[in-house]
Amino acid sequence: MRYPVVAFLISLAPAAFAQEAKSPQEEALKKLAADLPRLMKAADADGNGTLNVAEFRAFAPEVVKAGETILNALDPSLAKKKADKDVKKYDQNADGKLDDEEKKVMDEEARLKSIKGFDWDRDGKLSEKEKTAMGWAAEGDLIYRHRKVDTDANGELSSAEIEAGLSSISGIKVKKAKP
C-alpha cells in the first residue's frame, strides 16, 4: 500500500524542482523587494512609513530604474538583445555599431514616438497646450498606478501593498508557466 504513494510522490519531484528554478524576472523582483525599505525611506518625505501620491511620484521612477539595473545584472543578455535589436534597426552603414548620427536618428524616433499621441498638429514639437495635456496624462497614469496598488484605498501605500504590486510598479513582467 505504501509503495504506490511513494511512487506518486516521486513522480511529483520533477515538477517541484522545476518550480524552484526562478526566471531572471522573478529573481529581480525578489532582489528589488529586499531593497524596498531603502527605496521607500528615500521617498517617504513625511516619515510615516507609507507613500502618498506625491511621494509615489518620486518613488516609482526609482523603482523602475533599480529594477532594470537588477534585471540587467542578473541577465546581461536582455540588455544585449535590446542593443542588438537597435543596431539591426538603425545601423545604416552596416558596420555593426551605432555611430553618433545613427544614435541621433534612434533618439529622434523615440522622442517622436513618445509625443505622438499629444502632437495634435503633427509638427514634431509640443506646444504649451500639448505639453500640458501630456503632463496631465502622465499624472493620471501615476495616480492610476497608485490606486491600483492601494488595495485598502486609504490613499497611502504600505510596504506590504508596494511589495504585492511590485511587478506593476517596476514594469518587470513575470511570464506565467505553461501547464
List all residues 6 or more positions away from 165 whose beta carbon is below 8 Å from its beta carbon: 148, 149
Residue 153 within a domain: yes
Residue 84 within a domain: yes
Residue 25 within a domain: no
Residue 10 within a domain: no
Q: Name the helix (H) or strand (E) containing 9.
A: helix 2-20
Residue 27 within a domain: no
What's the average model confidence in pLDDT over 20-30?
A: 80
Residues of the domain holding 60: 38-170
pLDDT tens-place string over residues 59-78: 999 999 999 898 888 888 87
Q: Which amino acid is at 127?
A: S
Nearest partner of 63 among 114, 24, 28, 23, judged by Cα: 28
Q: How confident is the model at residue 176 (pLDDT cuts 50, 70, 90)?
A: low
- Give Cα separations from 35 to 72, 85, 179 (angstroms): 16, 31, 32
Pair 67, 172: CB distance under 8 Å: yes
pLDDT tens-place string over residues 141-173: 999 999 999 999 999 999 999 999 988 888 888
Residue 130 within a domain: yes
Residue 32 within a domain: no
List all residues 6 or more positions away from 87 whose beta carbon is below 8 Å from its beta carbon: 96, 97, 98
Domain count of the fold of the chain: 1
Residue 83 within a domain: yes
Q: What is the mean pLDDT of the chain?
A: 83
- The single residue listed with the C-alpha cell 506625491 is 54
Q: Which amino acid is at 138?
A: A
Threshold 0.95, pTM exceeds: no
Pair 159, 39: CB distance under 8 Å: no
